[in-house]
Structure 1
C-alpha cells in the first residue's frame, strides 16, 4: 500500500486503510456465506419440490414419492436447441432421475452446511451447464442465462472457502480424509 492511499483513507474515513480492508473482507465473507446458503436453498428446494410435489413446480401427483419422474416433464417438453434429442431420450430414465435427485440434494446440503464446497461447486457447475445446454439458445439472450451465472457463483464460493463462514467448512477441513485429499475441501 502506498502512502497516498493510506493518507487518503484516513482523511476521508478517519481510519487507516488496513482497518477498512479488514472490515470489507469481513463483510465480503458474510455476503458470500449468505449467497452460499441462498444458492444451497435453491438446490434443496428443487429437490424437495420434485420429491414431495409441494405444488410450486411439481404437483403432488407428479412427485417422485408418488411414482412421478423428476426429469420427465422438463426433458420431454422444456428442452430446445441442438441437444434436444439427447435430452428427450433420457427423459424418465431411472438412472437420470436418481442422478438428478442425488445431485440436487447433495449440492443443496453441501452448500447450506458449507461442506465439500469444491465438490459441490464442480457438481453444481456441471448440472447447471447441462441445464443451460438443454435450453439453447436461452429465451432472453443469445447465450447467457442464470444457469451460467449460478455456475460462476459456485466457482467463486469454492475459491474463497465460503463454507468457513456460517458453515462447517473449517471443521470439515480438519478431517484426516480432507487433509489427505484437499479437493474434498
Structure 2
C-alpha cells in the first residue's frame, strides 16, 4: 500500500539528492547533512505555507479578546488580516496591534482571515510533494552547488508547482464571482463604495 509523503520521506529525498544514505528519524541523528536537511525542510515548509492556500486559510475566523482587551493569535499564525475594514490591526508577535490607536487593547472580538502553519502531515499530498522537491533543490544548491543537478531538480520543482497550483484552483473553486479580491470589490459597490 502506498502512503502519503512524510517529513522523514522528504528529508531522505533531500539526502538522496546529494548521494547520502537515508536516516531512520527526523530527530537529531548527529549527522550534519541530516540536520541541515531538516533545517532547510522546515524553512521551506514555512515559506510555502506562508503563501496562504485554500487548505491553510480560515476566512471569517473569530478571535476573542482577553479580559485585558488583547486579541491573542494562535501560535501557528503565519498571516492575519481583519475582515472589518474599519479596524486597522496587524500581527505583532502573537497579538493583534491596533495601528490607529497604537495599542494592543483591541477591546473586542475580531473577525479575521488567518493563514496557519499546519503540521506537514495535515497538508494535501500535492503540497507535501512540492515542499519535498523544493527543499531538495535548495538543499542540493547549498550543500553541493551542482548546476547540472540543480537543473534536473528545478524541472521537478516546476512540475510539482504546476500540480499544486492546479490542485489549489480546483479545490478553491476560483472564478470571477467568488474570488476574494473580486468579491470585496463587488461588496463595496453593493454597499455604496467607489
TM over 0.5: no
Which band: TM-score by shorter chain? under 0.3
After TM superposition, the score normalised by the length of structure 2 is: 0.24
Greater strand fraction, Structure 1 or Structure 2: 2
After TM superposition, the score normalised by the length of structure 1 is: 0.25
